[in-house]
C-alpha cells in the first residue's frame, strides 16, 4: 500500500512546488503522466478479472494473426463477445502486429489511455497537476482494470472541446470512435445539445432532486430496458436495479461535489468553455443520483468526470478577489486548495483500502511483470489465470 501513498503524496509535493506558477509546463506534465502510465501498465495483472479476460481475447487475436489466412471476424472471440464494439477488436488486431504478449498489450493500451488523458487535462484544466490529483481520487484505480471503458472515456473526453467550439461533426466522430471501443460512450452525446448558460442554483437543485427521485424509483433499470441494444448482457447486469442495495456512496459523492461547486459558483466565469465543463460536472452528479439503486451504474458517470476534475481544480485557480468587476486569478495556496487535496486523498484512499479488503489483493502488494511468478495468496490469479506458462516466463510469447 505504501507505494500508492508515495505516488499520491509525490504529486501533492509537485503541486505545492508549482502552485504559484499554475502547475507544470507541458513537457514535465507529460513525463509525469507517462510515469503514472508505466506504474499502471507494468503491473502484473493487478485490478481483478477484467485484465485476464482482455488478455485472453488478445492472445487469441495474436494466435489467429499467425495463421496463413487469418479471418479475425470469424475466428476471434473478441468480435463475438462485443459485436457492437468492433473498434476495440480491431485495435487488438493492430497491437498484435507489434506484439503477441499480453503484458506488452496491456502496457501499450495503458500508455494510449494516459496520452489521451494528458491531452484532455492539458486542454481543460488551468492547473494540470491539481487536476491530476483530483483525477487520482476519482478514476485512477479504474485504469488498472476497466481498460476498455477507460479507453472509451479517454477518447470521448477529447470531444468536449468541440461542444464549446460548436463543431458537431467533429464531436460526433469522436463519440463514434469512443462508442466503437465501449458502447456506453453514447451517454456523453446529449451534452452537446445542452444550452451554454449558467443555471441558477435553484434550478440545479431542482433538477438534481428530480434525478434523485428517479434514481430511487429505479430509473437505471428503465434506461437499460429502453436502450438495451446499446449495451451487452454484462453491462445489463451492472445497470440492473437492486432491490436491497441503496448506493449511499453515490449519494454522498454527488451531494459533496454539488455542495463544493455551488459554494464557489460565483468564481466560475461565464465563458463557453467553463460553462460546458461546469454543466458536465453537474451531469456527473446527476448520473450518480440516477443510478443510486444500481449495482454498478455509477460507471456511466465516468464520462462526465472530466467536468468535476476540471471544474474543481479550476475553481482553485479562479478563487481570488473581485476588483472593478474583474476576477483576479491567483495561485496562492488557500483553504480551498487544502480542502481539495484532502478530499482527493480521501477518495483515493477509500478505493485503495477497499480494493485490498477481503483477501482479494486487487492492488497490493504491488508487483510488475518484469519478474516471473505471481504474488503469494493471489486469489485473482488462482481464479482467473488461463495460461500458466506466463507464470513461469512472462515473455514466453
The pLDDT assigned to 237 comes to 42
Distance CA 301, CA 289 (A): 10
Please report the pLDDT score of residue 48 as a whole number. 82
- Three-state secondary-structure class, residue 83: coil
pLDDT of 223:
58
Residues 6+ apart with CB under 8 A from 292: 212, 215, 216, 246, 247, 250, 251
Helix axes 305-318, 102-124, angle to 10 degrees: 40
Confidence (pLDDT) at 245: 67
Q: Is residue 108 within 8 Å of residue 95, measured between CB atoms? A: yes
Dmax (CA) of the chain: 74
Side-chain-side CA neighbours of 328 within 13 Å: the count stands at 7
Q: Quick count: other Cβ atoms within 10 Å of Cβ 330?
A: 15
Query: What are residue 323's phi and psi, to 5 degrees?
Result: -130, 125
Q: φ, ψ for residue 294 (rounded to 5)?
A: -100, 145
Pairing of strands 320-323, 326-329: antiparallel
Q: pLDDT tens digit string along 315-350?
A: 888 775 444 445 444 545 678 888 899 999 999 999
pLDDT score at 33: 97
User: Cα separation of 31 and 187, whole Å?
Assistant: 31
Whole-number Å distance between alpha carbons of 35 and 314: 24
| C-alpha to C-alpha distance for 23 and 331, rounded to whole angstroms | 9
User: What are the strands, taking DSSP E only, across the chain?
Assistant: 320-323, 326-329
Cell numbers linked to 225: 430496458
Cell, residue 227: 436502450
Residue with cell 493500451: 109
Q: What is the spatial distance between Cα 41 and Cα 148, in angstroms, rounded to a whole number?
A: 14
Given its phi and psi angles, is residue 166 left (phi above 0), alpha (psi -120 to 50 degrees) or beta? left
> Is residue 356 within 8 Å of residue 141, measured between CB atoms?
no
Q: Determine the 3-state secondary structure of 218 from DSSP.
A: coil
Residue with the three cell numbers 501498465? 41
Low-confidence residues of the chain, pLDDT below 50?
Answer: 225-244, 321-325, 327-329, 331
Residue 216 confidence (pLDDT): 85
pLDDT for res 358 = 58
Q: What local confidence, expressed as pLDDT, does residue 251 receive?
A: 87
Amino acid at each position: 500500500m505504501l507505494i500508492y501513498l508515495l505516488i499520491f503524496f509525490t504529486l501533492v509535493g509537485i503541486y505545492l512546488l508549482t502552485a504559484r506558477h499554475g502547475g507544470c509546463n507541458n513537457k514535465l506534465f507529460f513525463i509525469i503522466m507517462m510515469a503514472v502510465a508505466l506504474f499502471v501498465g507494468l503491473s502484473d495483472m493487478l485490478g481483478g478479472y477484467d485484465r485476464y479476460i482482455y488478455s485472453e481475447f488478445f492472445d487469441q487475436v495474436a494466435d489467429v494473426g499467425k495463421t496463413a489466412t487469418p479471418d479475425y471476424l470469424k475466428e476471434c472471440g473478441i468480435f463475438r463477445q462485443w459485436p457492437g464494439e468492433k473498434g476495440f477488436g480491431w485495435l487488438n488486431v493492430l497491437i498484435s502486429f507489434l506484439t503477441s504478449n499480453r503484458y506488452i498489450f496491456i502496457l501499450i493500451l495503458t500508455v494510449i489511455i494516459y496520452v489521451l488523458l494528458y491531452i484532455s487535462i492539458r486542454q481543460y484544466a488551468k492547473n494540470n497537476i491539481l487536476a491530476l490529483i483530483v483525477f487520482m481520487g476519482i478514476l485512477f484505480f479504474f485504469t488498472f482494470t476497466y481498460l476498455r471503458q477507460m479507453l472509451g472515456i479517454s477518447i470521448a473526453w477529447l470531444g468536449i472541446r468541440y461542444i464549446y467550439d460548436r463543431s458537431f461533426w467533429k464531436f460526433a466522430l469522436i463519440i463514434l470512435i469512443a462508442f466503437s471501443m465501449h458502447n456506453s460512450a453514447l451517454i456523453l452525446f446529449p451534452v452537446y445539445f445542452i444550452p451554454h448558460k449558467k443555471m441558477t442554483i435553484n434550478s440545479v437543485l431542482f433538477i438534481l432532486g428530480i434525478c434523485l427521485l428517479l434514481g430511487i424509483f429505479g430509473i437505471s433499470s428503465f434506461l437499460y430496458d429502453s436502450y438495451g441494444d446499446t449495451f451487452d448482457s454484462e453491462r445489463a447486469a451492472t445497470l440492473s436495479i437492486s432491490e436491497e442495495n441503496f448506493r449511499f456512496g453515490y449519494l454522498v459523492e454527488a451531494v459533496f461535489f454539488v455542495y463544493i461547486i455551488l459554494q464557489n459558483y460565483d468564481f466560475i466565469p461565464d465563458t463557453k468553455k467553463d460553462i460546458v465543463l461546469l454543466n458536465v460536472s453537474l451531469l456527473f452528479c446527476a448520473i450518480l443520483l440516477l443510478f443510486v439503486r444500481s449495482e454498478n451504474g455509477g460507471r456511466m458517470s465516468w464520462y462526465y468526470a472530466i467536468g468535476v476534475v476540471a471544474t474543481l481544480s479550476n475553481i482553485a485557480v479562479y478563487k481570488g478577489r473581485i476588483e472593478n468587476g474583474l476576477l483576479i486569478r491567483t495561485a496562492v495556496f488557500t483553504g480551498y486548495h487544502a480542502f481539495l487535496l484532502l478530499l482527493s486523498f480521501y477518495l483515493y484512499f477509500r478505493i485503495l483500502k477497499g480494493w485490498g479488503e477481503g483477501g482479494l489483493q486487487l492492488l497490493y502488494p504491488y508487483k510488475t511483470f518484469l519478474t516471473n511468478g505471481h504474488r503469494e495468496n493471489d486469489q485473482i490469479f488462482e481464479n482467473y489465470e488461463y495460461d500458466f506458462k506466463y507464470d513461469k516466463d512472462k515473455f514466453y510469447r
